[in-house]
Amino acid sequence: MTQHGREPDDGARFASHPYASFLERVDKPARYTGGEVGAVPGDWDAVQARVCLAFPDVYDIGMSHLGYKILYSVLNDDPRTLAERAYCPWVDMERELRERDLPLVSLESYRPLADFDVVGFSLQYELTYTNILTMLDLGRIPLRSVDRGQDDPLVVAGGPVATHPEPVADFFDAVVIGDGEAKLTELALTWTRLKEEGVARSQRLRALAELGGIYVPSLYEVAV
């Protein structure tokens, strides 16, 4: 049973998965199907901000991360926000997606990362930096912040390595310094509210910087 008390029809749900026709070709296909106990199938039309929590490592590693679970709970417990999850695919799934020109999707609603208002990466260690680029590319999101348009998601980073983000600053619109659970809801709601008001992307980023505890790389010039 899900957190919302509904028994999902797993057969029908998996049949509608965009990867259903080739899941048997990859190792550990359950990495990509979701539907676990405690997963929250949110209502996209009932919330103001939709956040994809993107963990730049395989499901086996990311699913047990405590901070990730806390953020998932905080966002889904707030009626104004929704959180879904995505993990970096293993090389066999990445190959299948690229051969079929299919996007990386979330575990809950099977939506591409590009459909979300905010995509938040948890930076746990530097060796996953290249996985971030893989997920952005497969998720149909421009890699560099400067190349993103008005309707592209806000790409944000947090976690222990976010205290020194400069090596990957070009790829993030904003970086949360400190505990994400104290800031992510406010950040997501501010972003979507300003977008609905027609505020330009660059001005939305300036507004995020004014919230405090958020580094917006595009607002600074860094000496190398």
The domain spanning residue 99 has which CATH number?
3.40.50.280
Closest CA to 170 of 190, 142, 199, 192: 142
pLDDT higher than threshold 50 for residue 6: no
pTM reported for the whole predicted model: 0.91
**pLDDT: is 33 or 12 the higher one?**
33
- What pLDDT was estimated at residue 61? 94
The per-residue pLDDT of the chain, averaged, comes to 91
Q: How many C-beta neighbours within 10 Å does residue 84 have?
A: 28
Answer yes or no: is 3 within a domain.
no
Single-letter code of the amino acid located at 142: P
Residue 29 located in a structural domain:
yes
Q: Which string of DSSP letters, residue by residue, matches the chain?
A: --TTS----HHHHHHT-TTTTTGGGSSSGGGGT---TT-----GGG-SEEEEEEESS-HHHHTT-HHHHHHHHHHHHSTTEEEEEEEPPPHHHHHHHHHHT---B-TTT--BGGGSSEEEEE---GGGHHHHHHHHHHTT--SSGGG--TTSPEEEEESGGGGS-GGGGGG-SEEE-S-GGGTHHHHHHHHHHHHHTT--HHHHHHHHHTTSSEE-GGG-----
Which pLDDT band, with edges at 50, 70 and 90, does 102 fall under? very high
Q: Are 55 and 158 in contact (CB under 8 A)?
A: no
Q: Would 5 be classed as within a structural domain? A: no
Task: Report if residue 28 sits inside a domain.
Answer: yes
pLDDT band at 97 (very low <50, low <70, confident <90, very high): very high
Q: Give tens-digit pLDDT for 203-221.
A: 999 999 999 899 999 999 8
Q: Residue 7: what pLDDT?
A: 44
Residue 224: inside a domain: no
Whether 190 is in a domain gets the answer: yes
Domain containing 38 equals 10-219
144 belongs to a structural domain: yes
The reply to whether 45 falls in a domain is yes
In total, how many domains does the chain have? 1
